[in-house]
Amino acid sequence: MALVRYFLDAEFNGFGGQLISIALVPQDPHSAVFYEALPCAAPEPWVAAHVLPVLRTTPTSRPAMIAKLAAYLSSDPEPVVVADWPEDIAHLALLMVTGPGYRLASPRLMFELLDLPLFNSEALSEVPHNARHDAAALRTYVLAEQR
């Protein structure tokens, strides 16, 4: 069975800030996308101007987001998550911590961190700073580079 790659993007409240939205866009453009957002009560000014206006989804609670992530990942026995930024991976990994000493039950999960100095999500994304569209732009870029 071929490994399925999921392209990851996350938006957060400034560098090192709380997660606002996260997306996993599968390699197959016909497969379902995971895209969820959390409330952001005190956004940085840049985030308030550029990220929150383009969320295009209703924020949910962290427990609900975790449950949806578990359901999404459960359909693939060995997902490979591809990212271009380490903080995106960190936010996804932190979603898998469900409490002190507890973690999300998940399949084997692999991460691939790519160094893409020429990739510019703001220029290539249909909706810049929207995690779903930025992850789709990452997918398009990576797949085009690998042809």
Nearest 5°: CA angle at 17, between 15 and 130?
80
pLDDT band at 75 (very low <50, low <70, confident <90, very high): confident
Q: Is the pLDDT of residue 6 over 70?
A: yes
Cα→Cα distances 109→80, 84, 92, Å = 6, 17, 11
CATH topology of domain 5-145: Nucleotidyltransferase; domain 5 (3.30.420)
What tens digit of pLDDT does each residue of 85-126 get?
999 999 999 999 999 999 988 878 999 999 999 999 999 999
Query: What global pTM score does this model have?
Result: 0.95
**Domain range summary for the chain, segments of one domain joined by +:** 5-145
Q: Is the pLDDT of residue 147 over 80?
A: no
User: Quick one: pLDDT at residue 2?
Assistant: 77
User: Quick one: pLDDT at residue 1?
Assistant: 64
Question: Which comes out higher in pLDDT, residue 88 or 1?
Answer: 88
- Six-digit token string for 59: 């924020």
Q: Which residues pair with 25 in a beta bridge?
A: 7
What tens digit of pLDDT does each residue of 16-48 get?
999 999 999 999 999 999 999 999 999 999 999
| Cα–Cα distance, 146 to 104 (Å, whole number) | 32
User: Quick one: pLDDT at residue 90?
Assistant: 97
User: Quick one: pLDDT at residue 100?
Assistant: 94
Measured over the CA atoms of residue 55, residue 61, residue 11 and residue 106, the dihedral's sign is: negative
User: Quick one: pLDDT at residue 11?
Assistant: 98
Q: Which residues pair with 8 in a beta bridge?
A: 24
